[in-house]
């Protein structure tokens, strides 16, 4: 028996796009939100977030025009903070989270961010593995941060996000996606 686990097939690129989040996307966004979080964000919170264009970036990933994931970043000075990232469970493991995170981190660097931070549940090992791949490391713990479950959060950060070294890491992630898409580099 093979020890290599089968990975889901990548989504063919012509069917996939990542675009700024708009009000019209929220019905699908809220549907995903309700599936993946015990305390989902409300429509009014998303509306408030996407209206703050100078200090926020929100994007959605779509397959054939249907929203299947989204991510958000908030900017304060030289710091970008990942506010939310989620993918429809039906298409987990197909690199959509990677594509979304790459998109908002590139935007944060373009806006001059040197630090990128986030909170993640201590039990959320899948998300933590994705963040480690992007160079995040744990810098602290917020006790009882998630009030509905009293679960602790790790604070994870990338510092030197605008360094050559970090740009190279992002290029490697981009190259990996390009290989999956069948595009040579």
Ligand X SMILES: CC(C)(COP(=O)(O)OP(=O)(O)OC[C@H]1O[C@@H](n2cnc3c(N)ncnc32)[C@H](O)[C@@H]1OP(=O)(O)O)[C@@H](O)C(=O)NCCC(=O)NCCS
17 vs 53 by CB, closer to ligand X: 17
Q: Rounded to whole angstroms, how far apart are CA atoms 166 and 104?
A: 14
State the pairing for strand pair 79-87/115-121.
parallel
38 vs 112 by CB, closer to ligand X: 38
- Helices 26-36 and 43-51 pack at an angle, to 10 degrees, of 120
Residue nearest to ligand X (CB): 97
CB of 125 within 8 A of CB of 160?
no
Min dist CB 112 to ligand X, Å, is 24
Min dist CB 95 to ligand X, Å, is 4
What amino acid positions are annotated as catalytic residues?
Answer: 119, 131
Min dist CB 28 to ligand X, Å, is 14
The residues that touch ligand X, with contacts defined as CB under 6 A, are 36, 85-87, 92-98, 120, 124, 126-127, 129-130, 133
Phi-psi region of 128 (alpha: psi -120 to 50; beta: other; left: phi over 0): alpha
CB atoms < 10 A from the CB of 117, how many?
19
93 vs 112 by CB, closer to ligand X: 93
Q: Which two tokens stand for residue 50?
A: 């996407």
């Amino acid at each position: 028996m093979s020890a290599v686990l089968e990975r889901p097939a990548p989504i063919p690129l012509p069917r996939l796009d990542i675009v700024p989040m708009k009000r019209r996307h929220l019905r699908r966004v809220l549907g995903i939100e309700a599936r993946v979080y015990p305390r989902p964000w409300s429509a009014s919170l998303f509306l408030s977030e996407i209206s703050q264009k100078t200090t926020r970036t929100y994007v959605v990933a779509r397959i054939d025009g249907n929203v299947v994931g989204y991510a958000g970043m908030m900017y304060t000075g030289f710091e970008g903070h990942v506010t939310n990232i989620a993918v429809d469970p039906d298409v987990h493991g197909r690199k959509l989270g990677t594509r979304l995170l790459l998109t908002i981190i590139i935007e944060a660097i373009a806006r001059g961010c040197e630090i990128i931070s986030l909170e993640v549940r201590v039990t959320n090992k899948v998300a933590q593995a994705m963040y480690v791949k992007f160079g995040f490391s744990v810098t602290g713990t917020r006790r009882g941060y998630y009030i509905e479950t009293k679960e602790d959060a790790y604070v994870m950060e990338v510092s030197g996000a605008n360094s050559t070294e970090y740009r190279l890491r992002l290029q490697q992630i981009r190259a990996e996606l390009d290989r999956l898409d069948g595009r040579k580099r």
